[in-house]
Amino acid sequence: MTDRIEIGDLQVAKVLYDFINDEALPGTDIDQEDFWAAVVEILGDLAPKNRVLLEKRDSIQAQINAWHRDRRGVDFDAVAYKEFLSEIGYLVPEGGEFSVDTSNVDEEISSIAGPQLVVPVMNARYALNAANARWGSLYDALYGTDAIPSDGGAEAGREYNPVRGQKVIDFARAFLDEAAPMSVGSHADIRAYSVHGGQLAAETRDGSIIRLADTNRFVGYRGDPASPEAVSFVNNGIHFEIRINRNHPIGKEDPAGIADVVVESAITTIMDCEDSIAAVDAEDKVIAYRNWLGLMRGDLTESFEKGGETVHRKLNADHIYTSPAGSAEYTVPGRSLMLIRNVGHLMTIDAIQDKDGNDMPEGIQDAIFTTL
């Protein structure tokens, strides 16, 4: 039996009520009584409308089913079917031309093209991994997948294979030559990177100093400009970073000290409250809402055992660089832009019930609590 708190005409599961009051509302400047009064008002207004919409959908579906049953064995008539769908209101006339103006849209949505992940928000570990997938190691991605062929002694075994490792490095250098080409030569010829006069300078193996073909692709660096630990670029809106560490197992064998190339990867992530999870009661919904709250606050953590060791996960920090001129910071988000996918109009859940014990629409509850 679920413990409930009576608020107006609603009965709210105590576990949800306590979570909202004790964890979600603090820091929002929203009064507790005002919030729950608004919940009562919203559900009182929208739950009946939602019910009417679902009844209309059931009616339309029943008419469609009957139409097909009545014509069993008859050749399909697309024209007649379209007329029928229009008659019952399933199809409506196309509206006139219109335009939509938007503002304050994140670049990840409006202008950056890149992968999008979908992850169950109830699983904190998966959610953290997805949010942190904004950046990924190109070296790891190449070494661990069939992007690099396994022929010629380049198999990926349990131990590091230097033959495969060199193919990874060659691939990465070719990527750099395409995404951030030098004015002459190749990144494969470089033995040291530095920053001088607001520009990236590279010393080749023969002692020549070369620069980027397009200086605008260099956006920042970390560390000493004479010997940076990282240099960052942008191409087609996607950032990537050369990490330099001559003490690293890979970097110490590399002429330029490159230990890795990391690339912006999952630009956006959908934290899913719907298809990829099974939230069947108030306790489940609180798990989802608590993880989402932690993602929004940036303090979600998770620990788990792997290979006999305890692994700790938390959200990555932003990538902060010194601008090429050295006069300001240049920041790139360290996490995916996170979106939330709420449950649709069909489902109801007992997290909140009306005075008669009817479960309230889950999608409306999600809309209230995930935007808090």
Q: How confident is the model at residue 307 (pLDDT cuts 50, 70, 90)?
A: confident
CB 128 within 8 A of CB 315: yes
Q: How confident is the model at residue 306 (pLDDT cuts 50, 70, 90)?
A: confident
CB 318 within 8 A of CB 309: no
**Mean pLDDT of the region 358-367:** 97
Whole-model pTM: value is 0.92
Span 310-350, pLDDT tens digits? 999 999 999 999 999 998 999 999 999 999 999 999 999 99
Residue 217, CA distances (Å) to 20, 96, 257 in order:
46, 43, 21
Span 30-83, pLDDT tens digits? 999 999 999 999 999 999 999 999 999 999 999 999 999 999 999 999 999 999
The answer to whether residue 149 scores a pLDDT higher than 90 is yes
Amino acid at 250: I
CB 122 within 8 A of CB 284: yes
Q: How confident is the model at residue 2 (pLDDT cuts 50, 70, 90)?
A: confident
The answer to whether residue 116 scores a pLDDT higher than 90 is yes
Q: Phi-psi bin for 237: left (phi > 0), alpha (psi -120 to 50), beta?
A: left
Residue 323, CA distances (Å) to 182, 196, 242, 337, 347 in order:
19, 12, 15, 23, 50
Q: 136-260: CATH homologous superfamily?
A: Malate synthase G - maily-beta sub-domain (2.170.170.11)
The answer to whether residue 291 scores a pLDDT higher than 80 is yes
CB 114 within 8 A of CB 264: yes
End-to-end Cα, the chain, rounded Å: 28
Q: Which residues pair with 182 in a beta bridge?
A: 212
pLDDT at 270: 98
Q: Which residues pair with 12 in a beta bridge?
A: 5, 352
Q: Residue ranges of the domains in the chain?
A: 4-95+342-370, 136-260
Span 215-245, pLDDT tens digits? 999 999 999 999 999 999 999 999 999 999 9
Mean pLDDT of the chain: 97
The answer to whether residue 1 scores a pLDDT higher than 80 is no
Per-residue tokens: 118: 């979908």
pLDDT at 5: 97
The answer to whether residue 356 scores a pLDDT higher than 80 is yes
Q: How confident is the model at residue 282 (pLDDT cuts 50, 70, 90)?
A: very high
